[in-house]
Amino acid sequence: MTQSAEHNPNKPIPYGRQHITEADIEAVADTLRSDFLTQGPRVAEFERAFADYVGATYAVAVSNGTAALHLCALALGVNESSRVITTPITFVASANCVRYCGGTVAFADIDPATALLDINKVRQLLESKPQGYFSGIIPVDFAGNPVDMEAFRRLADEHGLWLIEDAAHAPGGFFYDSKGRRQLCGNGAYADLAIFSFHPVKHIATGEGGMVTTNNEALYRKLLRLRTHGITRDPEETEGNDGGWYMEMQELGYNYRLPDMLCALGISQLQRADAGLARRKGIARIYDAAFKDVAGIEPLHTEPAALGAEGETGHAYHLYVIRVPDRKGLYDFLRQHSIYAQVHYIPAHTMPYYRSLGHGRGDFPEAERYYAECLSLPMYPSLTQEEQAFVIEKVKEFVGR
């Protein structure tokens, strides 16, 4: 009998999960005992700390990552006449934000090696239409694999487009630019706006929560207004000034605020972000080594621009994705052993809603082939060595039989 990795089979292993400490709980409890449940001092504190963490000038905390995307689309003026390009391999919110504003979503296919939006496919699409046909591009740092935003900026500038970086998977991720400088995901160096999510499966968990980052002051001010009903109290922004109570609703905004107690949780979580990221990279290295040269298992490749000379990787590893020929078989087999792997993602253009808008199966062959083979293995900081060894053993057992 071969030696089996030690693992309690009654304890399920999910693909991702949050990590909550006593310090996190204390931080939330402190806010509950304070004068502010929402819009107190923790909001600006979280925004400042997060902006610093990703190297951006400004950050705006919002209710969730989807609200962040919606506000970005609004701030950039997306409307019924806008056409925006994104990837089919993403969470549907990356595309939906365009629809919220009445715009049209155009997809372009992925690079099969990385599963990131293929810049050459985007260029072909742009060149197939007259200048001015498209308004913007929303690349996604899928799985935590950083998009080369410098390359996308160059392409966007050639066509007069804006860029929103969906960095929901990639806080702490980075790529190296053409001068060899590290560029953190969401640092605003190339994208006009970037978004993050604090859903429990993401790197930093506040339950629900999101953030927009930018280096553009005008967009920053617009986002602050749009987050709170389009209202401003800043005397420098208002037309009139009747007294201390005065405010103006200047445009149609929303209530997309993130409460103080969740910002307190975010601040506490952010203090462990580097440790969590290091742990994710360590888990990825172990998977990489275990699957190296195993026929029938093909891990996604890291974006070349994210690889440093000394083997440093800018991949933020929200997900660890492998491609296997019999994905459904492996998914079911792992479930029988209480390993809850997941599929990221069903291509957005094949969703009934997007099909009703004229998109369809067969439109993006690389995305569809990828979907047929992809599986996200457990990846989260509290995954133990024993649990990971058990996952690896079971994956190899299935693929080798």
Ligand X SMILES: *Cc1c(COP(=O)(O)O)cnc(C)c1O
Structure tokens at 129: 């239409």
Tell me: cis bond preceding 246? Omega within 30 of 0 counts: no
* Backbone angles phi and psi of 22, in degrees to 5: -60, -35
Does an H or E element contain 220, and which? Answer: helix 217-227
Enumerate the H helices of 292-338 as residue ranges: 327-336
Place of tokens 């299935």: 398
Task: Produce one character per residue of 321-331: b if its CB has 16 or more CB atoms within 10 Å, e if not.
Answer: bbbbeebeebb
The nearest distance, CB 147 to ligand X, in angstroms, is 12
The nearest distance, CB 267 to ligand X, in angstroms, is 18
Residue number with CB closer to ligand X (66 or 313): 66
The nearest distance, CB 29 to ligand X, in angstroms, is 24
The answer to whether 252 touches 358, Cβ cutoff 8 Å, is no
The nearest distance, CB 141 to ligand X, in angstroms, is 8
Does an H or E element contain 298, and which? Answer: strand 298-299
The closest alpha carbon to 138, from 174, 196, 98, 102, belongs to: 98
The nearest distance, CB 345 to ligand X, in angstroms, is 8
The nearest distance, CB 119 to ligand X, in angstroms, is 18
The nearest distance, CB 206 to ligand X, in angstroms, is 9
β partners of residue 13 = 339
Q: Helix 65-75 and helix 217-227: axis angle, to 10°?
A: 120
Structure tokens at 382: 């509290």
Place of tokens 């492996």: 330
Q: What is the number of the residue whose Cβ is closest to ligand X? A: 65
- Count of Cβ atoms closer than 10 Å to residue 398 Cβ: 20
The nearest distance, CB 333 to ligand X, in angstroms, is 26
Q: Binding residues for ligand X, per CB under 6 A?
A: 64-66, 90-91, 93-94, 140, 166, 168-169, 197, 199, 210
The closest alpha carbon to 186, from 77, 53, 30, 276, belongs to: 53
